[in-house]
Every structure is written in C-alpha cells, then in structure tokens.
C-alpha cells in the first residue's frame, strides 16, 4: 500500500529500531526508555464486518492491543452449532488497525474456561513465529510481547499452537492492518470479511452440535466454506450496506486452513485490488485470488442500486457450502448503466427433460411435532426451492408457478409429493395461468420432503395440513 524499494525498506527498519531506542542486552533486543516517551493509545478493536476508523495521526505511537482467546459454542448454520475457538469471542477475530512505525504492546489473555493453550502468529510481525514463540498462553494465564510495525500492508493473524491446523480450522484467525505512514486514500465505507472452512462430522446442514473432523481436514474436503464464521453471517438482515455514488473498500482475508479463495462480487468490478494485501495495485479486476493465510484489499465505486452477491467463485462453495454474502446498495437507478429487464418472452426450443437436484444436506434430526416439521421445512425450502418459487411463495410470472394459494398444490397432496419425487415436465395450469417448463426431481430424503411440503401447506395463507414421511414412502413405492 506504499511504494518502496528493497533499499528503502531495509533502511526504514534500521531507522525504526534507532527511533525506538532498541538496544541489545546479552544478545536480546530490548526497547530502551525512549520508547516509553511515545504517546500511548489503546487499539480500537472491532467485530467483523466493522472496521476501526482510519488513523489520522502523523506520528508513531505506542499502541496497546489486548485480545482474549475463548472457546465457545455458536451458530455455524441454521440448526447447526459448533464449538469455536476464538480471538475476542467471535469468528473471525477482532480487526486490528495500527500505523507503520508504531510500537505495539500485545497482550494475550486465555480465558480460564478454555481447555487448550493458545498463542498468536501475526503475519505483520518481524520476529520468531510472528509472536507465537512469545505468546504461548495456558488457560487462565496472560502473555505479553512487543513488536515494531515495520511493513505496511494487510496481514492475517492466527493461532499457531499445535496442532496448528485444528486451531485455525476451529476459528482462530483475523486481520491486522498496518497503515502506511501517509495513510490510505479516504473512502466512504470500509468492511472486513474473512473466508474460512469448517470440517464437521455431519454433512452440510446436518443439525445439532457438530464436532471437528480431522480426517476431512487432512483430505481438504470441507463441509462448510463461509464468510465471517457462519452461513449467512453477511447476508439478509446482516448484509453490508452502501449508497449509490459511494466508494467501498473491503479488507478480505482467507483464514483457510486449506483452500484458496476466488473472491468475486457479482455485478461489480474492482476498480483497485491491492494484491495479497501489499502495495502492488491491479485495476479493473473481476475476481482475485487470495491464498490461505493471505489477504487482499478491494475498492470500487457503486453506480447502481440493488443487492450485490459476494462469493468464492469456486462456485459450489458459494451455493452449496455457504461462501455467500450480500452488499445492499440504496439510491436512484441509472438506466444508462443498467436497464433492468426490458423484455420477457417465451422461448421453448426442442429438447429438455426432467433433471434431478440432489439434496444439499440430509437432516438427521427427526421432527417430533408439526411445529418442528414446519421449522425444518423452512430451512429445506430456503436451500432448494426459494430461488424459483421466491421467499413468499409467489413464484415468477411466466416462469415458475406460485405455491401461495396454489390450487394445483392444495387440491392433491399426493400429486405434490410425486412432483418432488419424480419431477414434472410439460404444461400445467395454476390459478388459471398456464406454465410450461421443467421442475427437477429434487433428491430429498423422505423426512425432508414431508417437512418442506408441510411448511408450504402452512405458509402464505395456505390452508394448513401435515405431510408425514410415511406418506412419502408410500408414494415413492407407488
């Protein structure tokens, strides 16, 4: 983020050590009393996707950073819990913002309830283990070390206690920004996103408290790939926001522990990408690679309103494993930039047929009541049906029939079961309107089909009822 050459960087490091008053005592680097004369401030730490405000001072300071490691159960997805190991009680850990030349006093506290020792490796640190060798902290203990911020850039931090991969896979990572001396160019909005993977005993969407699966982690086959620690963490009501005409900067990290991210915002082009969080800037970029343990800074101006979807463009991760977020833009349309749909007409070439879509995650927990069946069915609907039939069951005119008030659906529950089991192709009439398309056979379990149909029957003003797995089994063998 600041243009330097090798000679300048080496001399900057030497100068920084002189200014800090570093001396050597019995071969150990020690900061002399002059360092204590720097102004002291406590770092502002924020929870993703919030970023601390830009640094406005034009001089170095002694910055005190205090982080707590704590192990806690939290939400991984709807109905799915996980025991996260965290920095600051959240995944990812708190965002840390300092300035090039700052002297940082770092305090790491390990909560007494922790079962494991933890430490921290900050990629911004020049020193053994990035601080890991000086911060090994047992439960109920605190550690402190200091470092000089020599190099500007956006850096990952993570736990480096053995087994390192397991500590990272359980949620122990975050970002630290070292602003260049002259600061970053101002923008209207800044956000913090971190991608990572989770490896669970159960498959994607399998409910309950899920333990870590070391075999899957070693094979690098995650069940979840997510932004900010959970499915939907920055989607829906949690979406990031901006207004038309504003400039947006996103600090993006990849905690891994294994996969490379292909970060992309659907419907936007990055005006600038600070490649790998450093000072090399690329322009007009569609997707940017972020290695495990790496980062990038992306910037763009928003020109039109709408909901822009953030994804890992290794696309099955986005739509089947959770790597999906939202940036909602408010403001006036600009039809010269984007017109919206201008025409919708029927196109029916020859060919086609009934396809099938496999269930994304089988539900191992059985519904014990109508209320639970509706709840589980709502989750299945969101994962498999909402894109076509929409959030309120209204369908899409001329393309997908409505489920709300559907005479086709409500007049024959068995027919509805058959459609989910075997698919449907050809013309049907719903509410007096003709639809001629293809409904894929969605390969759901008997339990999930019963759940989702019960949810539909009891939603959007429909007349209620319950579908049981036994009914689905009977139709499957019919």
Do residues 356 and 440 lie in contact, with contact meaning Cβ atoms separated by under 8 Å? yes
Cα angle: 58, vertex 59, 62; to 5 degrees:
135
Question: Rounded to whole angstroms, what are the CA distances from 107 to 137, 171, 221, 419?
Answer: 10, 19, 35, 60
Question: Distance (Å, rounded) from C-alpha 199 to C-alpha 69?
Answer: 21
59 marked as part of a ligand binding site: no
The length of the chain, given as a count of residues: 478
111 marked as part of a ligand binding site: no
Residue given tokens 């600038």 in the structure block: 272
Which helix or strand (DSSP H or E) is residue 421 part of? helix 413-422
| Number of alpha carbons in the 13 Å side-chain half-sphere of residue 316 | 6
172 marked as part of a ligand binding site: yes
Question: Distance (Å, rounded) from C-alpha 154 to C-alpha 1?
Answer: 9
Question: Distance (Å, rounded) from C-alpha 176 to C-alpha 49?
Answer: 14
| Number of alpha carbons in the 13 Å side-chain half-sphere of residue 194 | 36
Residue given tokens 């539900």 in the structure block: 363
Residue given tokens 């089994």 in the structure block: 473
167 marked as part of a ligand binding site: yes
Question: Nearest CA to 319 among 205, 445, 422?
Answer: 205
118 marked as part of a ligand binding site: yes
Burial letters 223-244, b for 16+ CB under 10 A, else e: bbbbbbbbbbbbbeeebbebeb
Burial letters 180-218, b for 16+ CB under 10 A, else e: beebbeebebbbbbbbbbbbbebebbbbeebebbeebbe
Cα angle: 333, vertex 301, 180; to 5 degrees:
160
| First-to-final CA distance of the chain | 66
Question: Distance (Å, rounded) from C-alpha 29 to C-alpha 146?
Answer: 11
158 marked as part of a ligand binding site: yes
Cis amide leading into 257 (omega within 30): yes
**Which residues have CB under 8 Å from 150's CB, separation 6+?**
9, 12, 13, 16, 100, 126
103 marked as part of a ligand binding site: no
- 142: how many CB neighbours lie within 10 A of its CB? 13
Residues in the annotated binding site for Cu cation: 118, 123, 158-159, 167, 172, 313
Annotated binding site: 118, 123, 158-159, 167, 172, 313
């Amino acid at each position: 983020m600041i243009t330097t050459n090798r000679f300048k960087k080496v001399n900057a490091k030497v100068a920084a050590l002189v200014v800090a008053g570093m001396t050597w005592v019995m071969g150990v680097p020690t900061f002399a009393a002059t360092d204590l004369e720097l102004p002291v401030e406590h770092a502002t730490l924020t929870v993703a996707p919030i970023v601390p405000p830009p640094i406005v001072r034009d001089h170095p300071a002694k910055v005190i950073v205090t982080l707590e490691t704590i192990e806690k159960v939290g939400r991984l997805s709807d109905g799915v819990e996980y025991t996260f190991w965290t920095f600051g009680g959240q995944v990812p850990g708190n965002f840390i913002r300092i300035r090039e030349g700052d002297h940082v006093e770092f305090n790491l506290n390990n909560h007494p309830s922790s079962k494991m020792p933890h430490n921290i490796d900050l990629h911004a640190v020049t020193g053994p283990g990035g601080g890991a060798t000086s911060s090994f902290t047992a439960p109920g203990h605190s550690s402190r070390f200091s470092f000089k911020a020599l190099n500007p850039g956006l850096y990952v931090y993570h736990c480096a206690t053995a087994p390192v991969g397991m500590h990272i896979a359980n949620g122990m990572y975050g970002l630290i920004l070292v602003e260049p001396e002259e600061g970053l160019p101002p923008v209207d909005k800044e956000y913090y996103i971190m991608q990572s993977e989770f490896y669970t005993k159960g498959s994607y969407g399998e409910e309950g408290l899920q333990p870590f699966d070391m075999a899957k982690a070693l094979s690098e086959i995650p069940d979840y790939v997510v932004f900010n620690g959970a499915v939907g963490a920055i989607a829906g009501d949690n979406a990031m926001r901006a207004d038309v005409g504003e400039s947006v900067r996103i600090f993006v990290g990849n905690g891994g522990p294994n996969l490379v991210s292909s970060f992309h915002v659907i419907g936007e082009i990055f005006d600038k990408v600070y490649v790998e969080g450093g000072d090399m800037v690329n322009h007009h970029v569609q997707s940017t690679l972020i290695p495990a343990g790496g980062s990038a800074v992306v910037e763009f101006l928003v020109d039109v309103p709408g909901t822009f979807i953030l994804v890992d463009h290794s696309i099955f991760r986005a739509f089947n494993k959770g790597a999906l977020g939202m940036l909602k833009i408010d403001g006036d349309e600009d039809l010269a930039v984007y017109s919206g749909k201008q025409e919708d007409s029927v196109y029916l070439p020859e060919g086609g047929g009934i396809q099938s879509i496999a269930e994304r995650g089988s539900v191992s927990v059985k519904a014990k009541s109508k209320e639970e069946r509706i709840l589980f069915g709502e989750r299945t609907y969101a994962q498999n049906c909402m894109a076509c039939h929409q959030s309120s069951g209204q369908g899409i005119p001329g393309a997908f029939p409505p489920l709300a008030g559907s005479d086709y659906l409500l007049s024959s529950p068995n027919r509805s079961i058959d459609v989910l089991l075997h698919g449907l192709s050809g013309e049907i009439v719903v509410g007096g309107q003709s639809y001629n398309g293809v409904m894929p056979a969605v390969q759901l379990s008997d339990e999930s089909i019963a759940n989702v149909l019960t949810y539909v029957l009891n939603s959007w003003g429909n007349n209620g009822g319950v579908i049981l797995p036994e009914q689905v089994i009977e139709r499957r063998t019919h």
